[in-house]
Structure 1
Amino acid sequence: MINITLLLHINDLLSMFTAKAITKTINVVFYLVPEFSMIGFSALVDPLRQANNVSGETFYRWQVVSATGEAVVASNGMSLIADCAIGQEATPDMLIICAGFNPEKDQCKRLQTWLQQHSRRGVWLGSQDTGSYLLAKSGLLNDHRATIHWENLMAFKEVFRRVEVVDELYEIDGRRFTCSGGLAGLDMMLYLIQCQRGHELSLSVSDELIYSHMREGKAPQRMSSALRLGTNNRKLLTVIGAMEDHLEEPLSIPTLAAMVNVSERELERLFSRHLQQSPGRYYRAKRLQRARALLQQTDRQVVDIAMASGFGSAAHFSRAYRQFFSVAPSQDRQPQLRRA
């Protein structure tokens, strides 16, 4: 005999991030990883609190879960009390991993089994910041689109080849949803409330949080190059964009100059005027920063990283790296996932 209540519950879950009103209370579990991002967690939970407050309804319930049930210390040094340990939580509709710095320290078979069990039950699994690493490590992002904080995007792509990594604020794919960290979780939860409870409530929550512009998921994580560099010079920005697109196989300075129809000398003047350095020096810094991310976030060999960063030999790479960072590549390999 068909259980009508169960069918209605399943239909509600299927519409979690679609434009279909949900009538049931949504149970959300937040799993906190030591050194999680406090601002990232707050950006996820406060919109749910405000949705209940503004509506006068209990649209959302949530629990905070830690590995042992003990309080968890965030990356800012503050502790947050957990409601229970893994396995003691009420059955969730959604489970969100909140992380920040060094999430790989929390990776273990027990956590992996717990996440996989919830996945088999049809729970929507999400992550904030580097929490995507733990979902991917458990095989739960295979063949899904997902995002992570921009500092970890490159290494995330290298390590998890079956994940379609996107450079976006947040990404929703099937029963998986990931956000890049910081205030991106606020945008994602406002979108969730809009889908589940309507546009008017989402706007009211946004107003209560004094958040005047809800960003779309596909919005870029970082501000534009023009804002970051403090210039609107189109030729300079075009050359910088080309550099960033060709870190593994660097373009020559004459080629870059020809792209924007200027002489090499004029390109040198542009970089000197706006960035106080030569194009060659700027380009090398970009390649070395890529190399450092690969060194600290992957287990690739130094020689492979040298080639992936546009250096012709490991010796040349090592000299440039030591000169720039004051440390040899081989001594700079400790895990350094982003501090949130």
Structure 2
Amino acid sequence: MQFWCLDMQNLENFSEPRSIHVLLFDEFSNHCLANAIEPFRAANTIARRKLYVWEHFSIPGGKVTSSSGLPVETRPMTVAARGGDYLFIMPSYGYGELSNPKMSQSLRAARRRYATLVGMDTGAWLLAKAGLLDGRSATIHWDEYTPFLEAFPEVNAVEDRFVIEDGLATCGGASTTFELMLELIRREHSPTFALEIAALFMHGDKLDMYDPLQRWSADALVRSATALMRRNLEQPLSIPELARQLRSDQRTLEKRFQEKVKSTPLSIYRGIRLREARRQVELTTLSIAEIAERCGYRNTSAMIRAFRQEFGHPPGSYRRTS
């Protein structure tokens, strides 16, 4: 019950969806684009409502082609005069040619219209050239870190995977884009909500047990535990067995869950199983008994009681109204 209700309380604060405008340039990374948008698509799917909406823009509008040849139709930035919640700035290889006075002027104007500007991949270079990162911490794709450090001494360049400051965020590339999006979602909703999105993409699916830093990282341990839970629904693992497979101990595992998501591994596991049950109730014609078994309930009545407690209706009536 706790796993879902924590998120529902946060979702109630969103009367209108957050608006995301993605500013693309030729030679952009479609890997970066997918990692920027898919977490928000997943957030909408899990929440059963539009928490986020997005549109693709370019300076002139029209077709923009990624570095791998993927074409994307965009709208001209002139139609985005009202701004929005987020502007994702996504250049890649051509950032040098884009670093011109006209681009800087456009980004300074956008700073007044958007709550948050996000420089992805080499986007931090354009933000810095516009003077928007002066006195701020920022990061960039690590291949460009040293030139960035030398070109903008007024920026506190750091080798972090992503950096979030008031109204500005930067990250270093495709995988770090995904992590930044999860962090934005975590801050707007809850750690458990972001954790479920991460698990949906199998983020943190494997924990490198031979890397002592990663082994004892709370983020890595919680993500890996959640991924392991998702892979073991029909035959749920006990929490001691879960900890053993992660080469941790139960006390450490439970402490890390409290630190990161303010919940217990058992509660998170239960929530994952019940939402898988809900998905099967909505999307399949399987009997309730078979769904219960597939989600680790040997007693169908126990699953029905837990389902009603979690979602407010028993699975049968939920199926009829969904």
Relative to the length of structure 1, the TM-score reads 0.54
- CA contact under 8 A between 2:42 and 2:197: conserved in structure 1? yes
After TM superposition, which residue ranges in structure 1, 4 or more long, deviate above 4 angstroms?
Answer: 19-22
Q: Does 1:86 align with 2:82?
A: no
**Residue-by-residue CA offset, 1:178-208 (whole Å, 9 max, x unaligned):** 0000211111111111111212221221122
What displacement does 1:110 show? Answer: 3.5
Tell me how far apart the structure 2 counterparts of residues 177 and 135 of structure 1 sit (CA, whole Å).
10
- CA contact under 8 A between 1:169 and 1:179: conserved in structure 2? yes
Summarize the alignment of residues 1-340 of structure 1 with structure 2, pairs less than 5 Å apart.
23=14, 24-82=16-74, 84-89=75-80, 91-121=83-113, 123-212=115-204
Paired residue total: 197
What displacement does 1:22 show? Answer: 5.0
Tell me how far apart the structure 2 counterparts of residues 103 and 203 of structure 1 sit (CA, whole Å).
33
Tell me how far apart the structure 1 counterparts of residues 51 and 103 of structure 2 sit (CA, whole Å).
28
RMSD: 2.3
Q: In structure 1, what residue type is equivalent to 2:78?
A: G
Distance of aligned partners of 1:20 and 1:195 in 2 relative to their CA distance in 1, 3 Å threshold: farther
**Residue-by-residue CA offset, 1:109-135 (whole Å, 9 max, x unaligned):** 443222111212452111111111111
Identity among equivalent pairs (%):
26
* 1:322 counterpart residue number: none
Distance of aligned partners of 1:21 and 1:167 in 2 relative to their CA distance in 1, 3 Å threshold: farther
Q: In structure 1, what residue type is equivalent to 2:47?
A: S
- CA contact under 8 A between 2:25 and 2:90: conserved in structure 1? yes
- CA contact under 8 A between 1:34 and 1:106: conserved in structure 2? no
Greater relative CO (CA pairs within 8 A, separation 6+): 1
Structure 2: gaps (5+ residues): 1-9, 212-322
Tell me how far apart the structure 1 counterparts of residues 201 and 32 of structure 2 sit (CA, whole Å).
15
What displacement does 1:166 show? Answer: 0.3
Q: In structure 1, what residue type is equivalent to 2:134?
A: N
What displacement does 1:108 show? Answer: 3.7
* 3-state SS in 2 of match to 1:123: strand
Q: In structure 1, what residue type is equivalent to 2:76?
A: A
Structure 1: gaps (5+ residues): 1-18, 216-223, 225-340
